[in-house]
């Protein structure tokens, strides 16, 4: 279980106990601390990937693929600069890998099947080892096929030596979409006529004013209600609800606060196919980190968080009561995922208040200001990349669908610019492995490219040789072609 999750059902506790009996302990004491030859402490963890069952709400079992029997997988929490050694044991019926999303690990540790390693075969194990740096809020997850959408993900927190913010306590909120059955590729969903049940999340032409199509700007009207209805024949997985920390809104996890405290929330989105609009009723959010990297604090009413993105925010607890923290899907009309912010001293039966209409400040990540931006410079190499689809079930970059693609060739030391143009009607959270990039004022590893001619440029320095995946983090888009290799020559 996650250390900072307040609610813990008896069932989940029993599972944790069962894992203990198998020699796998979850929760805090399961890390072994040693010392590496480099002098930095070594922290050892074990992740066992296996089929299992959890409850997504009281009395609602969910047969899933899990790390250590938990959803989300156990929180891996280390200090900046420590050596991280994770033994992954595969007890699944098929091959798997683990990707350390956002951390610029050495290429061989990146966990991309066919690119950086062969999948770990059933019954086998693989040891991942790398230095935990830089500090930040990250996600670990399977990178094989659609396995992420079976439940194979968890939080990975690298604590700062000296945070640029102060706070009294912190909580991690992991957002997800809930797929009761095994995931199917888009083509299969289309051929069965399935996958449109939860709202298509389409955006038709004429739905956006020109002011909303600026450099990555997303306004509240752009993807609000009224966008529903089939307008483009997209296929989405048949999700049955949305989760925070593995719980449906009917059994929302609760987080305790005291008046006057400053709360750090680490928001992680490992969902398979859902971008969320996140807000806390009765409170504003001060964004302090984007994809784990510190930014100048910036106050908003709500934020968009795409698949693969992370934001750390501060919430000033100055409005006593019981409040919902809500993550509303941007491309569907499903009810929001919910958690509860409960001030101590409030009556146990007090019903939480909802967020209601979100007004005021909106933002795009590119408007944030990184504390340590890249030095400016002209790119040595520029790639123009058009994000589009050949059909509702095949997604492309410059008309090519992975794996029938040409690698994007770069040389060590170069400054590379990607100029992305979205000629489709869906959001694409584009993720580059092994590197951070500068997008506007922010330093990130995943960025939402808005639909309908949205354009986003980013620069990165080719300073981590290898074969790296660059792809849409909507894993259905990734699986149906929206991916490329960035290869050092
Ligand atoms: Cu996409």
CA 191 to CA 202: how far, in whole Å? 19
Percent of the chain at pLDDT exceeding 90: 75
At the fourth CATH level, the homologous superfamily of domain 381-488 is: Cupredoxins -  blue copper proteins (2.60.40.420)
Residue 293, pLDDT above cutoff 90 = yes
Q: What CA dihedral angle connects 63, 306, 485 and 86, to 10 degrees? A: -50
The model's pLDDT over 352-411, given as tens digits with 9 standing for 90+, comes to 999 987 755 456 788 899 999 998 899 999 999 999 988 888 999 999 999 999 999 999
CA–centroid distance, residue 432 to ligand 1 (Å):
13
CA–centroid distance, residue 480 to ligand 1 (Å):
10
CA–centroid distance, residue 425 to ligand 1 (Å):
10
pLDDT, the chain, mean: 86
Task: Give strand pairing partners of 339.
Answer: 325
CA–centroid distance, residue 330 to ligand 1 (Å):
14
Going by CATH, does the domain composed of 186-367 fall within 3.20.20.70? no
CA–centroid distance, residue 312 to ligand 1 (Å):
23
CA–centroid distance, residue 468 to ligand 1 (Å):
18
CA 402 to CA 484: how far, in whole Å? 6
Is 202 exposed, middle or buried (CB count within 10 Å of its CB: 0-12, 13-18, 19+)? buried
Mapped to the 3 state alphabet, what secondary structure does 114-144 carry? CCCECCECCCCEEEEEEECCCCEEEEEECCC
Supply φ then ψ for residue 483, to 5 degrees: -160, 150
Residue 251, helix vs strand vs coil: helix
Structure confidence at residue 37 (pLDDT): 52
Contact 70, 54 (CB under 8 A): yes
Structure confidence at residue 314 (pLDDT): 98
CA–centroid distance, residue 409 to ligand 1 (Å):
22
Pairing of strands 408-410, 483-488: parallel
CA–centroid distance, residue 343 to ligand 1 (Å):
39
CA–centroid distance, residue 237 to ligand 1 (Å):
13
CA–centroid distance, residue 474 to ligand 1 (Å):
5
CA–centroid distance, residue 477 to ligand 1 (Å):
5
At 293, list the tokens: 């990297």
Which is it for the CA torsion 241, 246, 250, 254, positive or negative?
A: negative
Fold equal for 186-367 and 381-488: yes
The model's pLDDT over 238-260, given as tens digits with 9 standing for 90+, comes to 999 999 999 999 999 999 999 99
CA–centroid distance, residue 153 to ligand 1 (Å):
19
CA 72 to CA 153: how far, in whole Å? 6
DSSP 135-182: -EEEEEE--STTGGGGT-EEEEEEE-SS-SS--SEEEEEEEEE--SS-
Residue 270, pLDDT above cutoff 50 = yes
The model's pLDDT over 89-98, given as tens digits with 9 standing for 90+, comes to 999 999 999 9
Residue 302, helix vs strand vs coil: coil
Contact 432, 468 (CB under 8 A): yes
CA–centroid distance, residue 146 to ligand 1 (Å):
14
CA–centroid distance, residue 427 to ligand 1 (Å):
6
Supply φ then ψ for residue 16, to 5 degrees: -60, -40
The model's pLDDT over 142-171, given as tens digits with 9 standing for 90+, comes to 999 999 999 999 999 999 999 999 999 999
State the average pLDDT over residues 290-298. 97
CA–centroid distance, residue 309 to ligand 1 (Å):
13
Which is it for the CA torsion 8, 14, 16, 17, positive or negative?
A: positive
Confidence of residue 69 (pLDDT cuts 50, 70, 90): very high
CA–centroid distance, residue 315 to ligand 1 (Å):
31
The model's pLDDT over 2-61, given as tens digits with 9 standing for 90+, comes to 333 333 333 333 333 333 333 333 333 344 555 545 678 999 999 999 999 999 999 999
Residue 182, pLDDT above cutoff 90 = yes
> Looking at the whole model, is its pTM more than 0.85?
yes
CA–centroid distance, residue 127 to ligand 1 (Å):
31
CA–centroid distance, residue 424 to ligand 1 (Å):
9
Kindly list the domain boundaries of the chain, sorted by start residue: 10-162, 186-367, 381-488
Phi-psi region of 434 (alpha: psi -120 to 50; beta: other; left: phi over 0): left
Beta strand ranges found along 349-479 (DSSP E): 381-391, 394-397, 408-410, 415-422, 428-432, 437-439, 442-444, 446-449, 454-461, 467-472
Structure confidence at residue 420 (pLDDT): 98
CA–centroid distance, residue 478 to ligand 1 (Å):
7
CA–centroid distance, residue 228 to ligand 1 (Å):
19
Is 238 exposed, middle or buried (CB count within 10 Å of its CB: 0-12, 13-18, 19+)? middle
Cis amide leading into 343 (omega within 30): no
Helical (H) or strand (E) element with 293: strand 293-300
Residue 237, pLDDT above cutoff 70 = yes
State the average pLDDT over residues 69-97. 98
CA–centroid distance, residue 291 to ligand 1 (Å):
18
Residue 406, Cβ neighbours under 10 Å: how many? 10
CA–centroid distance, residue 238 to ligand 1 (Å):
17
Q: How many residues does the chain have?
A: 489
Among 338, 174, 327, 171, residue whose Cα is nearest residue 257: 171
At the fourth CATH level, the homologous superfamily of domain 10-162 is: Cupredoxins -  blue copper proteins (2.60.40.420)
CA–centroid distance, residue 76 to ligand 1 (Å):
28
Structure confidence at residue 97 (pLDDT): 98
CA 299 to CA 486: how far, in whole Å? 35
CA–centroid distance, residue 320 to ligand 1 (Å):
40
CA–centroid distance, residue 188 to ligand 1 (Å):
18
Please give the C-alpha separations between residue 370 and each of 104, 126, 361, 414, 437, in angstroms, as whole numbers. 18, 35, 19, 21, 11
Residue 1, pLDDT above cutoff 60 = no
CA–centroid distance, residue 236 to ligand 1 (Å):
11
CA–centroid distance, residue 319 to ligand 1 (Å):
38
């Amino acid at each position: 279980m996650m250390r900072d999750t307040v609610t813990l059902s008896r069932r989940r506790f029993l599972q944790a106990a069962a894992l203990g009996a198998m020699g796998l302990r979850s929760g805090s004491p399961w890390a072994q601390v040693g010392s590496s030859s480099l002098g930095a402490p070594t922290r050892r963890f074990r992740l066992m990937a296996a089929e299992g069952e959890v409850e997504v709400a009281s009395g609602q079992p969910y047969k899933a693929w899990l790390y250590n029997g938990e959803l989300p997988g156990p929180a891996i929490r280390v200090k900046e600069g420590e050596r991280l050694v994770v033994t992954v044991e595969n007890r699944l019926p098929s091959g798997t890998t683990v990707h350390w999303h956002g951390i610029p690990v050495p290429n061989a540790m990146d966990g991309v099947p066919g690119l950086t390693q062969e999948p770990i075969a059933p019954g086998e194990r693989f040891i991942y080892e790398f230095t935990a740096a830089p500090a930040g809020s990250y996600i670990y997850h399977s990178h094989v096929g659609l396995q992420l959408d079976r439940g194979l993900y968890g939080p990975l927190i690298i604590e700062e030596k000296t945070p640029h913010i102060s706070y009294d306590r912190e909580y991690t909120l992991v957002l997800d979409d809930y797929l009761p059955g095994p995931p199917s590729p888009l083509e299969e969903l289309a051929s069965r006529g399935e996958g449109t049940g939860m709202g298509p999340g389409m955006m038709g032409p004429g739905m956006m004013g020109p002011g909303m199509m600026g450099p990555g700007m997303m306004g509240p009207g752009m993807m609000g209600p009224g966008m529903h209805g089939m307008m483009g024949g997209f296929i989405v997985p048949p999700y049955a609800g949305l989760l925070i920390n593995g719980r449906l809104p009917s059994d929302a996890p609760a987080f305790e606060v005291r008046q006057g405290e400053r709360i750090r929330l680490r928001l992680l989105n490992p969902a398979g196919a859902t971008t969320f609009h996140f807000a806390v009723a009765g409170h504003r959010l001060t964004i302090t980190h984007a994809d784990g990297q510190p930014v100048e604090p910036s106050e908003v009413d709500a934020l968009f968080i795409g698949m693969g993105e992370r934001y750390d925010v501060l919430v000033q607890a100055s409005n006593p009561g019981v409040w919902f923290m809500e993550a509303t899907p941007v491309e569907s009309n499903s009810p929001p995922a919910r958690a509860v912010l409960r001030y101590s001293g409030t009556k146990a039966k007090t019903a939480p208040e909802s967020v209601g209409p979100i007004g005021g400040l909106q933002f795009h990540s590119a408007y944030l200001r990184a504390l340590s931006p890249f030095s400016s410079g002209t790119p040595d190499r520029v790639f123009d990349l058009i994000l589009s689809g050949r059909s509702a079930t095949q997604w492309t970059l410059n008309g090519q669908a992975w794996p029938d693609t040409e690698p994007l060739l770069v040389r060590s030391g170069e400054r590379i610019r990607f100029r992305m143009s979205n000629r489709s009607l869906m959001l694409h959270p584009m993720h580059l492995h092994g590197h951070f990039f500068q997008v506007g004022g922010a330093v990130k590893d995943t960025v939402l490219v808005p639909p309908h001619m949205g354009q986003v440029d980013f620069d990165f320095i080719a300073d981590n040789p290898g074969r790296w995946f660059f792809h849409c983090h909507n894993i259905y888009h990734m699986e149906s072609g929206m991916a490329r290799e960035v290869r050092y020559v």
